[in-house]
Structure 1
Amino acid sequence: MATEPTGKTESNRKLLIKLVVCALLMAGFGYALVPIYKQLCEIMGINVLTQSDGTVERDANTQIDKSRTITIEFDANARGPWRFRPVQSSMKVHPGELATVMYEVVNTQSRAMAAQAIPSYSPQSATPHFKKVECFCFKQQTLKPNEARQFPVVFFIDPKLPREVKNITLSYTFFEIAGADVSK
């Protein structure tokens, strides 16, 4: 039975330690990617689903700007076996005024399904000024087989919206979340 020279054993041990440290660093980096990605998206304004806790703080002295009227148009797109639409196609609001619009979703399948709505705004410059107080897009929704539900979106337009913006389109894309637990 031949034994390895002591120098080679020591060299192998150092290599093993380096490989284990490298694997741990890679696993740690992979684990940290999700929060880093979310933070970068929030900073850059890309794919922002909600405010940090899903709520909006309103300044106590927010005034309604009655001198301006903004037309809000509502749009809905379904990715999957859904019927999804806004109950009304548009409304006029004054900046600072609290407003509510309802969206209707129908699960057309004979199985429970989980979904998420992603909002988008046009023009893009209106995005930071469209403040949602309550929205079904803040969390995943589960619908029972053939269930129909209406979800409210409570919002206001920040009075700091540039004066040249007179129309805003709020569009939602509603899509199924594959592999989600729908037993709740």
Structure 2
Amino acid sequence: MDEGRSTKKLVIRLLLMVVVMFAFGFALVPLYDVMCKALGINGKTGGKYEGSQVVDLDRQIRVQFLSSNNSDMVWDFYPKGEHLDVHPGAVNEMLFVARNPTDHVMKAQAIPSISPGDVAVYFHKTECFCFTQQVLQPGERIEMPVRFIVDRAVPKDVKQLTLGYTLFDITARSPPVAHIASN
């Protein structure tokens, strides 16, 4: 009888643990937002950009592009240009280059950052290589576009912003990628 009681307690504790873990998973998104705001980190932009805008030809904003590799990443990674001078409301594009110099397949993920952080809500990425993981074969080189719009509602005193990416090696975090030979 005592063994049945301890089994019931164990099951209840395990179910409670599952509920707590599930709740914690939902709490991660708001916790991430709070931590980013408190620490001044900004990996988020203004979200999905809906609709089109009229281009403000009377204003120009310089968008500077930066790239860096996490300490474990060995890829060559850089933007094709240092900056673009853009008009608010216009669709713009910059290409980033990545090359896998190793002799094995690697997988990477780029994490964006906008500076100054309070301007990030006016920066809308419509296409970005950071939305997906990148898999490169040994020696493979790719050009990856980021398409964006700086919102017309950006404050008038904003003359420059910086879009930076940090590239992380996530090869070990996922199953090996099979190499498909081409004929």
- Band of TM-score, shorter chain: 0.7 to 0.9
How many percent identity over aligned positions?
35
- Paired amino acid for 2:178: S
Instruction: Provide the rounded CA distance (Å) in 2 between the counterparts of 1:152 and 1:35.
Output: 32
1:19 Cα deviation from its structure 2 partner: 2.4
Q: Structure 1 residue 116 and structure 2 residue 92: aligned?
A: no
CA contact (8 A) 1:50 1:138 kept: no
1:179 Cα deviation from its structure 2 partner: 2.8
1:36 Cα deviation from its structure 2 partner: 3.0
What whole-Å deviation, never above 9, does each CA across 1:8-40 have from its counterpart, x for those lacking one? x3x653443222111122123224433431354
The counterpart of 2:4, out of the listed 10, 13, 18, is 13
* CA 157–51 in structure 1, closer or farther in 2 if over 3 Å, else same: closer
* CA 17–42 in structure 1, closer or farther in 2 if over 3 Å, else same: same
Instruction: Provide the rounded CA distance (Å) in 2 between the counterparts of 1:37 and 1:147.
Output: 36
User: How high is the TM-score relative to the length of structure 1?
Assistant: 0.82
Q: Structure 1 residue 132 and structure 2 residue 125: aligned?
A: yes
CA contact (8 A) 1:49 1:118 kept: no
CA contact (8 A) 1:113 1:144 kept: yes
1:158 Cα deviation from its structure 2 partner: 1.1
1:126 Cα deviation from its structure 2 partner: 1.2
Greater C-alpha radius of gyration:
1
The counterpart of 1:30, out of the listed 6, 18, 21, is 21
The counterpart of 1:58, out of the listed 24, 45, 50, is 50
1:86 Cα deviation from its structure 2 partner: 0.2
Instruction: Provide the rounded CA distance (Å) in 2 between the counterparts of 1:165 and 1:50.
Output: 16
SS of match in other structure, 2:173? coil
The counterpart of 2:143, out of the listed 150, 172, 183, is 150
* Count of aligned pairs: 171
Greater alpha carbon shift after TM alignment, 33-42 vs 161-170: 33-42
* CA 183–39 in structure 1, closer or farther in 2 if over 3 Å, else same: farther
CA contact (8 A) 2:116 2:162 kept: yes
Aligned to 1:183: 178
User: How high is the TM-score relative to the length of structure 2?
Assistant: 0.83
